[in-house]
Structure 1
Amino acid sequence: MSLIKRFGYYFGGFAIGLVILAFFLNGKKASCDYGPDARVLKNIRTKTLEYSAEATAFISLKGIDTTKINYILYKGDVNFSDSDTRKKPCGVYFVEGEIDGKDTGLSVENCDKTATIQSIEFID
């Protein structure tokens, strides 16, 4: 069997496999959150989000929309060196992102049923 026929059979089977996967995974909420950042952010997003008094005051003072905070929790980066992941009873994570061109940091307390944004700050 020539090399061209082998490639043809391989890519034909690969295409059929992709169609079958698309058919079975269509409508399912399957995700590939394998990195540590993605797993932590997904875990935070699945819980009820609350804001501390300090975070609420910062949002009001700076006129920040909560959708921008949610975007940071979706696309941000977790800074594990500034986080206290083993704190009992709830770990505290420092999530970095950008709001209106300014680097922003969120301190998020991640408990079993709720995630509380403790503080928000602009990073210089």
Structure 2
Amino acid sequence: MKFIQRLGYYLGGFSIGLIVLAFFLNGKQVSCDYGPKARVLKNINSKPINYTQTFISDSSTIKQILQKGNIDFSKSNPRQEPCGNYFIEGKHNDYLVSVVIKNCDSIVTVLDFKEVP
């Protein structure tokens, strides 16, 4: 069998597989959270967030940072017992925002929030 024939069979099977996957996964909420950052952010966003009175006015900013921010694992302490602490930073309205949270089994608590122009 020549290379062109093998390539044709491969591409034909590959395209049929893509069509089958598109048919089965159409309209479903499927995500591929394989990296550590994505897994931690997904875990944090799946729990209720507890704000103290100081941070309640900035809750929308904090939610945005918790969804699309970057976790700095060198400043975080994820293995702390009973709840891990995470340092998350991101941009909001041209400000660098940092949030420190405590991630427990059933709730997330905001410990610190800073905006730097």
The normalised TM-score by structure 1 is: 0.83
Matching of residue 74 in structure 1 with residue 67 in structure 2: yes
98-107 vs 69-78, which moves further: 69-78
Counterpart of 2:35 in structure 1 is 35
Matching of residue 14 in structure 1 with residue 7 in structure 2: no
Hey, which of these two has a bigger chunk of strand by percent? 1
Residue 74 of structure 1: CA displacement?
1.7
Question: 1:54 touches 1:118 (CA, 8 Å); kept in 2?
Answer: no
Q: Distance in 1 between matches of 2:33 and 2:3?
A: 37
Q: Which aligned runs of 4 or more in structure 1 are off by greater than 6 angstroms?
A: none
Matching of residue 95 in structure 1 with residue 88 in structure 2: yes
Question: 1:55 touches 1:118 (CA, 8 Å); kept in 2?
Answer: no
Question: 1:107 touches 1:120 (CA, 8 Å); kept in 2?
Answer: yes
- Select which of 84, 97, 101 maps to 1:104: 97
Q: Distance in 1 between matches of 2:82 and 2:5?
A: 60
Counterpart of 1:121 in structure 2 is 114
Q: Distance in 2 between matches of 1:90 and 1:19?
A: 44
Identity %: 47
Deviations 1:44-66 (A, max 9, x none): 00011221233226x2xxxxx60
Number of residue pairs the alignment of both structures matches: 117
Aligned amino acid, residue 27 of structure 1: G
What are the ranges of 5 or more consecutive residues in structure 1 without an aligned counterpart? 60-64
2-11 vs 77-86, which moves further: 2-11
Aligned amino acid, residue 36 of structure 1: P
Aligned amino acid, residue 35 of structure 1: G
